[in-house]
Amino acid sequence: MYKLPAKMVPDRCGKRHRVWLLAAAVAFAASGCSLLPEEEASLAPPLVKPSEDSVQTATAKRADIVRYVRGVGAFESTEIVYHALKEPGAIVEAMLVKAGDVVKRGDVLVQFQLGDLDLLVQEHELAVLYAERGVREAIASGDDGLVEIKRLELSIAKTRLEKTRARLSSLQLVAEADGVVVFAEKLERNQQVNDGRTLVSVANPAKLRLAYETSNRAGLAGVKPGMPVAIVHEGRTYTGTVAQTPDSAPATTNPQLAELYARALYVTLEETPEGAAMGELADLEIAVERSEDAIVVPRAAVRTYFGRTYVQVIEGESRKEFDVETGVQTATEVEIVRGLDEGAVVILQ
């Protein structure tokens, strides 16, 4: 039987495979790419309701306005004795006191090294005794010239003794009054003191005043000596008087004291609060400026621009600007001296 060549035999299986592929392609095209995820429909932007144009306002009113200086002060002594080395160049032997110690007049505060001074004092005392004996012997001899010489020798011996004793005394820093040590320099043994700075301060605890220190000197503007002060200590109110301000402070060559005076306010007490002690705190209040029945607006209503001071006022449907002159000012309110009437509605910043 005659057979066709192999390449002439129809490939029925391959034909069926090609037909299947063609049908799948047609179906895919017809589906419109249905195998891909459907794209979400875009959303319309949300509608935002425009906010209404609102402003904060206040009404100019008549009222009393007072500017106060308020703070917390500490009680301190009005009698403080400052102890310094009279002859700089001494070497410390021992620091005998510290802040808070109670001392009596004559107590040694700082002991400096004496060297041979104590022995030298004894030698000069002996020289005085010999000189006194010489004067007695000269008088007994009846030699007037010799008497004059011996008296001169005695005077020289006494002078040397006095100077040596004074130098010895200067090497002991002694309390000049009873009181409490409120300051003591930190001194170490063998440390040399070469200047006349204050080493120990002793205060009288029975005589007190109120001291208020501030880092903002401008906050004390307008405070003057003689102004009354209200003081509150442990729930009770006392009265006092401004005694010293930074502007009225006395001149001093002490740099530490000058720095303190530049930021301190001192108040004398008409009555010492019961139980008050040095270092305890009390509230103080000073009425610096006062204006009664004044036109007052909130501080936020007053505007400044290149030296101009003004307010914005609502009149009907419009806004107007009025230049004003201000008076007393507090942290929250301002007195309007000129340029604005009572009842005006001002716009706040």
Mean pLDDT by 10 residues, the chain (349 residues): 46 50 50 50 56 80 96 94 86 93 94 86 93 94 92 94 84 92 92 90 93 90 95 95 94 84 94 89 96 96 95 93 96 96 95
Q: pLDDT at position 33, please?
A: 46
Q: Is 335 exposed, middle or buried (0-12, 13-18, 19+ CB in 10 A)?
A: buried
Specify the DSSP class assigned to residue 122.
H
Q: Cα–chain-centroid distance for residue 99? A: 21
State in words which class domain 70-78+204-289 has: mainly beta
Q: pLDDT at position 204, please?
A: 93
**d(Cα 135, Cα 150) in Å, to the nearest integer?**
5
57-65+292-347 to CATH, choices 2.40.420.20, 3.30.565.10, 3.40.50.620, 3.10.20.30: 2.40.420.20
**d(Cα 217, Cα 238) in Å, to the nearest integer?**
25
Q: pLDDT at position 38, please?
A: 53
Q: pLDDT at position 223, please?
A: 95
**d(Cα 141, Cα 133) in Å, to the nearest integer?**
12
Per-residue CA distances from 161 to 55, 108, 158 (Å):
89, 22, 5
Specify the DSSP class assigned to residue 271.
S
Q: pLDDT per residue over 294-305, tens digit each?
A: 999 999 999 999
Per-residue CA distances from 257 to 15, 197, 198, 250, 262 (Å):
115, 12, 11, 10, 9
The residue written with tokens 């043994």 in the block is 189
Confidence (pTM): 0.60
State both tokens at 292: 């009664």
Q: pLDDT at position 292, please?
A: 96
**d(Cα 187, Cα 136) in Å, to the nearest integer?**
49
Please give, one letter per residue, the 3-state secondary structure of 200-220. Answer: EEEECCCCEEEEEECCCHHHH
Domain boundaries defined on the chain = 57-65+292-347, 70-78+204-289, 79-113+171-203, 116-167
Neighbours of 132 (CB within 10 A): 16
**d(Cα 86, Cα 170) in Å, to the nearest integer?**
6
Kindly report the backbone phi and psi dihedral angles of residue 178, in degrees, each rounded to the nearest multiple of 5, phi listed first.
Answer: -70, 150
What amino acid is encoded at 240 in this protein? G
State in words which class domain 79-113+171-203 has: mainly beta
**3-class SS of residue 330:** coil
The residue written with tokens 């009596």 in the block is 104
